[in-house]
Amino acid sequence: MSSEIDFQIIVISPPKNLAKEQDTLCKLFEAGLNTFHLRKPTFTSQEMKAYLDLVPRKYHPRIVIHSRYELAETYILKGIHLTEQKRKTVIKTDTFSVISTSFHQLDDYRLNQKDYEYVFISPVFNSISKSNYSSNFKLEELNLFLNEYKHNTTIALGGICIDNILNIKSANFDGAAMIGCIWHSDDPVVAFLELMKKIRE
**For range 140-158, the mean pLDDT:** 94
Q: Is the pLDDT of residue 193 over 70?
A: yes
In this structure, what are the phi and psi dihedrals at residue 64, rounded to the nearest 5 degrees?
A: -115, 130
* CA distance linking residue 108 with residue 3, whole number of Å: 31
Confidence of residue 27 (pLDDT cuts 50, 70, 90): very high
Q: Which candidate, 193, 191, 199, places its Cα nearest to that of 175?
A: 199
Per-residue pLDDT, 94: 58
Cα distance between residue 20 and residue 13, in whole Å: 13
Tell me if 78 sits within 8 A of 63, measured CB to CB.
Answer: yes
Nearest to 58 by CA among 38, 87, 80, 78: 78
Q: Distance between CA 191 and CA 27 in Å, rounded?
A: 12
Q: How confident is the model at residue 124 (pLDDT cuts 50, 70, 90)?
A: very high
Residue 3 has pLDDT above 50, yes or no: no
What pLDDT score does 2 carry?
37
Percentage above 70 pLDDT, the chain: 92
Residue 64 has pLDDT above 90, yes or no: yes
| Half-sphere exposure at residue 147, Cβ-oriented, CA atoms within 13 angstroms | 8
Decide yes or no: CATH 3.20.20.70 for domain 8-199: yes
Segments making up each domain of the chain, as ranges = 8-199
With beta carbons less than 8 A apart as the criterion, state whether 37 and 66 touch.
yes
**pLDDT of residue 11 exceeding 50:** yes
Q: Give the model's confidence band at 87: pLDDT under 50 very low, under 70 low, under 90 confident, else very high.
A: confident
Cα 176 to Cα 160: distance, rounded to the nearest angstrom = 7
Q: Is 35 helix (H, G, I), strand (E, B) or coil?
A: strand
